[in-house]
A and B are shown apart, each in its own frame.
Chain A
Amino acid sequence: MQYDEKRLTRIVATDCGSTTTKAILIEWVDGEFRQTIRGEAPTTVEAPLNDVTKGVINATSEMEELARLKYNNPNIKFMENGEFIIPRKGDIGIDAYVSTSSAGGGLQMMVTGVVASMTGESAERAALGAGAIVMDLISSNDKRMNHEKIERIRQLRPDMILMAGGEDGGTVKHVVEMAELVAAADPKPRLGASYKLPVIFAGNKDAQEEIRKTLGSKVELIITDNIRPKLEQENLGPARDKIHDLFMEHVMQQAPGYNKLMEWAKGPDLESVPIMPTPAAVGNIMQTIAKDENIEVVGVDIGGATTDIFSVFTEEYIFNRTVSANLGLSYSISNVLASAGLPNIMRWVPFDIDESELRNMIKNKMIRPTTIPSLLEELVLEQAIAKEALRLAFEQHKEFASGLKGMQRQRDISEAFSQSTSGASIVNLMSLNLIVGSGGVLSHAPRRNQTVMMLIDSFLPEGITRLAVDSIFMMPHLGVLSEISSKAATEVFRKDCMVYLGTCVAPVGKGKIGKPALYAKLELPDGSKFEEEIPFGEVRLIPCEAGTVAKATLRALGGLILDKEKSKELIVDLHGGKVGIVLDTRGRRPFALPTEKTERIAALKKWMREFKVYPEQILV
């Protein structure tokens, strides 16, 4: 059911994250939907309170207080006796309450398939697309012994299992064998022993009867359409929908306080609005942007515990999501150090620091995840770690976001020479139009220039790419809001959520430091001009306001190229933004930093000054 401003004038949306519950107020003001007030409070899904709604009440009361101040009206009230008042009557109440949740570790799933890189991967894609964390993929060919697989299934305690395997009409043996292993493990759900573990079977339809016999009495078995009915066809929708249904019916019911939260979440006609897993809501929004604007998009949400990457590529709008479960900036910060290694973090730091001091700082952030860098040096270090977390998460995403593997394809002669294979990554940085960043370190960076530099250094965009950031991290809220009003969600998204930072122009190819790399002539909207032949190894930042464009003539020099057609010269409009237009001649494929320490620090300082990312005191 969709509503417009006649029924929706004041909406509360919350996102119950693993640490913080973030609430936003959306109102119909002066003929448009706007996000007006936000509040936040610690999430209360854990002991001692064990009730997620307490955090929601705290965040909402903060908004109530701020609303009374903003409108200078002491009568404004959203809740009464600890519950939302719906519908709104004058100053009292709201018209709808919606929420997403990733508290308590979000939705944790295990998936199985017959061949890991085919049905296994399809199952993984369905689970990730539904907003889950995939704890493990178990397949017939994953090289573990059967008893090891049984032990693993027993230890994992997922919220649910998704089983795939076999094309329709194909062999049933392997998929039934997998069901036998699951039955032998007799897996128990993570939350509460009072219900049976939900298991979704989305494999060969001929195996359904055998699967029922093997698993029917041990688990809550749900059978749905095959996720991979043919090798060359993937059908993720039905399995994804079942995951969402089960998330509401089983998993959320078990989490402390969620019964009440689910009752609260309702629209103006008091019909309930399902609580959505946070990443599923963000995925909704990313796909909407890509389709509305007909562009290719990469989105990232870097949190304390995990980093999610979303992408929409090719003309069929193929959507992929990956979650790097142990790359994040608080709980998982120490794992970024372990995965990236100290030298990779230090390469982004423009000063020297003792290893032991840095290691202890990182561990202290891990054990006290809610602290904020108040010293400049600590901010620089956290942003260096963020660059590595983003880089690693994007690498994982590129590997995962691929065409279907195992298909036979007819190739033309050019493909044969280019060695392209089935299952190659569909992430193409040269054709990518937009990168959207979100999550604390990107959304709340003290200077937006820092966000720009973090996105460029970690994603290494190629050619011409626009950059944006979620202003205060409200994409999850808008993703779930679109379920009852896509009008409100889209309006707020455009006006209050997306902050366009600018455009990055990065010619691709190798070059020599100091040799000419890019000739750029920009006519800026204020009438001023920028013209320079920029040497290789430099960056330039040209201010150009959001909502305006610069008319640009770009010429790549010294064998570099500007787009996927390998153009050397382009006459284009470059979009401005809060930060401006970045001309980056540091090279791509490869992008390399000087290896010698003093040279590297000197280069970093030069770029950081140009980007205006930090105050001068840290760069002297």
Chain B
Amino acid sequence: MGQAYSAGLTVTDSIILRKERILPLKGQVLVKKGDKVKAETVVAETLLPGKVVPFNLANKLGVTPAQLEVYIKIKAGQKITKDTILAENKGLFGLGFFKNEIRSPVEGEVENISSVTGQVLLREPRIPVQVKAFMDGLVTEVIEGEGVIIENKSAYIQGIFGIGDETVGELKMLATTPDDELDLAKIDDSCRDKVIVAGALVRLHAIEAAVKHGVKAIITGGIDDQDLKKLLGYDIGVAITGHEKVGLTIVCTEGFGKITMAQKTFDLLKALNGRKTSIHGRTQIRAGVIRPEIIIPMDFEESELVSKEASLPILEPGTLIRIIRQPHFGRIAKVISLPEELTKVESETMVRILVGEFEDGTRFSMPRANVEVIES
């Protein structure tokens, strides 16, 4: 076989991006098709249903569920305030002695009253939720009541792993070479609200300093797992991230440990130093792959907004690849050939291999599964 499908992460100086910005529940869209929006623009908002407070009224009143209707003072759908009387009995001898009044513990609405269980469900007031554009661009589609699609032309880098949610800041290059470890001394107040770029590694003390100086996000080649565990206070078991609240967003471009940032990624970030950057660390590797994204919007004409048809990255002679497992983890190479037959590697596993060549001309072979295509 002359070619094979492979995994790959996109690193490019120009791509047409299309982002859905959708509300969790139906609501109101605040922008219209053709609007130019900034990352910070609120594009849609809605009210999420309030918390439900179950309340066993029959038990509180000391009556059976069937008797409840005699004493109840509210109806399903009725608005209530805190302390609204929900039910009351008539007291001793019907004269009001030791009268028992049950008042609502919350403000909101009566959702349901059950004569089988004696349970009343109260719903607290609705909670407003807003969705921002996240990236500068053009509203190209409005999905009525749900949200919008925003398109733009951007420089774009997919990370391999990250933590922390969406944020926006100006890109600031702190590393001088892609194999730098982020120098603590470089993190000062000039980094406030910035997205800073490290090289091969960022250690825990540097992350803590960045949080202290109000850094929005860190882009790094690698992170040490023990540092990450200390930062989060727990060990990540399954890679579903993005919800962490550690004070900033972190995106790793290569993986865990000290790993030199791919030269192409490093050069691209360096060239765009000072540009507005939208970034998130959301990672989900199972059931709907989500990878962290670094988006640096460019100027564009509407006519340019034609995205390429999606396809799987293909390995073939000449493809640029990154090695993603030992040995040679993190190195960049070029595919020379893809032998068809199964080949035994050091671990004695019989696998499909590829023959590759490093920049210095040395050749190697390794399982095809252990490389990824560098897409452009």
Does the CB pair A364–B286 fall under 8 Å? no
Contact with B along A30-71 (1 / 0, CB 8 A): 000000000001101011110000000010000001000000
Partner of B346, one of A58, A305, A361, A376: A376
B127 at the interface (CB under 8 A from A): no
The answer to whether B52 and A374 have CB atoms under 8 Å apart is: no
Q: Which stretch of B84-92, B148-156, B207-215, B319-327 is in the interface?
A: B319-327
Shortest Cβ distance from B210 into chain A, in angstroms? 21
Residue of B nearest to A145 (CB): B54
Contact A151 B237 (CB under 8 A): no
Whole-angstrom distance from the CB of A194 to the nearest CB of chain B?
Answer: 12
Assess whether B287 is in contact with A104, with CB atoms less than 8 Å apart. Answer: yes
Using CB atoms, name the residue of chain B closest to A44: B312
- A331 adjacent to chain B (CB < 8 Å): yes
> In the complex, what distance in Å separates the CA atom of A364 from the CA atom of B256?
6
- Complex interface: chain A residues within 8 A of B111 (CB): 184
In the complex formed, the residue of A with least CB distance to B227 is A356
User: A368 and B52: CB pair below 8 A?
Assistant: no
- Is there an interface contact between A446 and B347, defined as CB atoms closer than 8 Å? yes
Across the interface, do B347 and A376 meet the contact criterion of CB distance under 8 Å? Answer: yes
Q: Does B108 sit within 8 A of A, measured CB to CB?
A: no
Number of contacts between A and B (CB, 8 Å)? 177
A221 CA / B92 CA spacing, docked (Å): 45
Alpha-carbon separation in the docked complex, A184 to B286 (Å): 30
Q: Which chain A positions have C-beta within 8 A of B237?
A: 326, 332, 334-335, 338-339
Asked if B7 and A368 sit within 8 Å, CB to CB, the answer is: yes
Give the distance to chain A from B59, nearest Cβ to Cβ, in Å. 11
The answer to the question of B1 belonging to the interface, with a C-beta cut-off of 8 Å to chain A, is yes
- Grouping DSSP codes into helix (H, G, I), strand (E, B) and loop, the B interface class, with mixed when no group exceeds half, is loop
Q: How far is the CA of A399 from the CA of B188 in the complex (A)?
A: 55
Chain A CB within 10 Å, residue with most, of B112, B226, B286, B370 = B286
B370 touches A371 (CB 8 A): yes
Q: Assuming A368-B160, A371-B369, A374-B367, is B53 touching A147 (CB within 8 A)?
A: yes
Which chain B residues in 304-345 approach chain A with CB under 8 Å? 310-312, 324-327, 329, 344-345
Q: Are B255 and A18 in contact (CB under 8 A)?
A: no
Q: Which residue of A lies closest to B111 (CB)?
A: A184
Contacting residue for B5 out of A41, A151, A172, A369, CB 8 A? A41
Stretch in A76-84, A88-96, A175-183 with 4+ CB within 8 Å of B: A175-183
Q: Which residue of A lies closest to B372 (CB)?
A: A368
Decide if A150 touches B54 in the complex (CB within 8 Å): yes
Q: Is the CB of A180 within 8 A of B161?
A: no
Answer whether residue B130 sits at the interface, using C-beta atoms and an 8 A cutoff.
no
- State whether the Cβ of A597 lies closer than 8 Å to any Cβ in chain B: no
> Which residues 159-210 of A sit at the B interface, judged by CB distance below 8 A?
172-173, 176-177, 180-181, 183-186, 210
Known: A47-B289, A177-B119, A367-B283. A374 touches B346 (CB 8 A): yes
| Interfacial chain A residues near B349, Cβ < 8 Å | 372-374, 379, 444, 446
A220, CB-defined interface residue at 8 Å: no
A interface bracket (residues with beta carbon within 8 Å of B): 35 or more
Measured between C-beta atoms, what is the minimum distance from A541 to chain B in Å? 18
Please, which residues of chain B bring their CB within 8 A of the CB of A339?
Answer: 237
User: Looking at the complex, which one of A58, A104, A147 makes contact with B51 (CB distance below 8 Å)?
Assistant: A147
Which of B1, B7, B121, B238 meets A334, CB within 8 Å?
B238
Mask, A205-236, CB within 8 Å of B = 1, is: 00000100010000000000000000000000
| Most chain B beta-carbon contacts within 10 A, residue among A42, A176, A181, A366 | A366
The answer to whether A356 and B226 touch across the interface, beta carbons within 8 angstroms, is yes
Of the candidates B51, B112, B160, B239, the one having the most CB atoms from chain A within 10 angstroms of its own CB is B239
B63 contacts A by Cβ under 8 Å: no
Q: Measuring CB to CB, which residues of chain B are less than 8 angstroms from any residue of chain A?
A: 1, 5, 7, 49, 51-54, 65, 111-112, 114, 116-117, 119, 121, 123, 160-161, 224-226, 235-239, 255-257, 283, 285-289, 310-312, 324-327, 329, 344-351, 366-367, 369-370, 372
Known: A105-B286, A177-B114. 4 other contacts (CB 8 A): A361-B326, A374-B347, A375-B327, A444-B349
Listed by A's residue number, 11 A-B pairs whose Cβ atoms lie within 8 Å are: A49-B310, A104-B288, A147-B54, A177-B116, A180-B114, A331-B286, A332-B238, A367-B285, A368-B160, A368-B372, A372-B367
Closest 8 CB pairs of A and B: A48-B310, A335-B237, A105-B287, A446-B348, A379-B347, A146-B54, A360-B257, A360-B256
